[in-house]
C-alpha cells in the first residue's frame, strides 16, 4: 500500500483503487471539500506523474477520457486549485510521491489497463439533489428537474420570464466554462430541438459565471450530475424522425391560443401530436398534457 499525506489532501493506493481525501487546509477550495473522498478504480486511470518544482511539486492523476463525469462535464477546464486529481507535494516528500507513482504505474502494467477512452463511466457522479450559486442564478438539480432561479444581476429578459425549469429528459448536452480574467463563464444546458442559443447572459437555459468567488466552481457539480445521466459519449446517437419540443415551466408544451374560428388549426395540431406520439418522439405523459391543453382551447 502506498500513501502520501499533504496539506492539500491524502492519497492512498491499495493496488486496486486510488483514494483521494481532501485536506483541511484553508487553501482547499469548496469544490474539493464538497466532492469529499473520491475512490478512483484502477481501470479508470490512464496514467500518473510527479512534476517536481523548486518549492513544491505536483502529483497528477490522469483519467481515461469519458471515465469520469466530473472531468467529462467540465471538459478538463477545472482550475488547478480545484482539480481533485492534482496534489501539491512538498519538496521534502518528493521521494514518497515518486514511490506512489511507481506503485500505480506497476499496477497499470500488471492489469494491462487500456489508457484509451472508456466505454462507460467508471466513477459515479455527484449525489443529488445538488445546488450551486452562479453569477446570475441559483442552479439546482434533483435528478429529474433542473432549476435556474435568477437573482438581481440577471438580465431583464431572464427575470421577466421567471425561474427556468426543465426536465432532465429534455436535456441534450451541458456545457461548463469557468470565468477567466475579464471574461465571464457559463453553465449552459442545450435542450432537444432547441434552435441556436443567444449569448449566455440572455439565454434562459444558461447561468453566467462571474468568477467573483470560489463557490461558483460548485456549479461544476451540477454539470457532472447532469453529464452522468446523459448518454455516454461511446453510445452512438439514435436518429429521430423529428426534434422533440423542449418542455419548460416558462414555455409549456402547448400552442398559442387561437380564436374560435381556428378549429382547423387545433385539429391539425392534434394530428401532429398524435404522429409524434406514435413515432415515439413524445412520451405518453407529454402527449396527454399537450392534448389536454389543445382540447381546452376548443
For residue 287, is pLDDT > 80?
Answer: no
Summarised one tens digit per residue, pLDDT across range 101-155 is: 999 999 999 999 999 999 999 999 999 999 999 999 999 999 999 999 999 999 9
Secondary structure tally for the chain: helices H, strands E: 7, 14
Return the C-alpha cell found at 36: 469529499
Summarised one tens digit per residue, pLDDT across range 220-264 is: 999 999 999 999 998 876 655 444 454 444 444 443 444 444 556
Task: Centre a 10 Å sphere on the Cβ of residue 88 and count the other Cβ atoms it contains.
Answer: 19
Q: What integer best gives the mean pLDDT of the chain?
A: 86
Mean pLDDT of 57-61: 96
Mean pLDDT of 76-105: 94
What is residue 28's predicted lDDT score, i.e. its pLDDT?
87
Mean pLDDT of 90-100: 95
Summarised one tens digit per residue, pLDDT across range 63-77 is: 999 999 999 999 999
Return the C-alpha cell found at 75: 471538459
CA distances from 85 to 19, 79, 81, 164, 216 (A): 10, 11, 10, 33, 19
Summarised one tens digit per residue, pLDDT across range 191-206 is: 998 888 899 999 999 9
Amino acid at each position: 500500500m502506498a500513501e502520501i499525506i499533504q496539506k492539500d489532501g491524502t492519497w492512498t493506493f491499495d493496488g486496486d483503487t486510488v483514494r483521494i481525501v481532501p485536506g483541511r487546509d484553508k487553501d482547499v477550495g469548496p469544490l474539493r471539500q464538497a466532492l469529499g473522498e473520491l475512490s478512483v478504480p484502477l481501470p479508470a486511470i490512464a496514467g500518473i506523474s510527479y512534476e517536481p518544482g523548486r518549492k513544491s511539486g505536483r502529483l497528477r492523476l490522469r483519467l481515461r477520457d469519458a471515465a469520469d463525469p466530473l472531468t467529462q462535464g467540465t471538459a478538463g477546464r477545472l482550475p488547478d486549485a480545484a482539480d481533485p486529481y492534482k496534489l501539491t507535494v512538498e519538496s521534502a516528500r518528493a521521494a514518497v510521491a515518486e514511490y506512489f507513482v511507481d506503485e500505480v504505474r506497476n499496477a497499470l502494467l500488471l492489469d494491462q489497463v487500456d489508457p484509451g477512452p472508456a466505454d462507460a463511466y467508471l466513477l459515479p457522479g455527484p449525489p443529488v439533489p445538488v445546488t450551486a450559486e452562479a453569477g446570475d442564478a441559483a442552479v439546482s438539480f434533483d435528478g429529474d428537474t433542473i432549476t435556474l432561479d435568477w437573482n438581481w444581476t440577471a438580465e431583464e429578459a431572464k427575470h421577466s420570464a421567471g425561474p427556468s425549469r426543465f426536465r432532465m429528459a429534455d436535456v441534450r448536452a451541458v456545457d461548463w466554462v469557468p470565468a477567466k480574467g475579464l471574461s465571464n463563464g457559463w453553465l449552459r444546458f442545450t435542450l432537444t430541438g432547441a434552435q441556436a442559443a443567444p449569448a449566455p447572459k440572455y439565454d434562459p437555459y444558461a447561468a453566467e459565471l462571474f468568477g467573483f468567488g470560489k463557490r461558483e466552481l460548485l456549479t461544476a457539480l451540477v454539470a457532472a450530475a447532469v453529464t452522468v445521466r446523459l448518454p455516454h459519449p461511446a453510445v452512438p446517437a439514435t436518429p429521430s424522425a423529428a426534434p422533440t419540443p423542449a418542455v419548460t415551466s416558462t414555455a409549456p408544451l402547448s400552442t398559442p391560443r387561437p380564436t374560435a374560428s381556428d378549429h382547423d388549426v387545433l385539429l391539425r395540431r392534434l394530428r401532429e401530436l398524435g404522429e409524434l406520439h406514435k413515432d415515439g418522439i413524445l412520451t405518453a405523459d407529454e402527449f396527454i398534457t399537450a392534448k389536454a391543453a389543445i382540447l381546452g382551447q376548443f
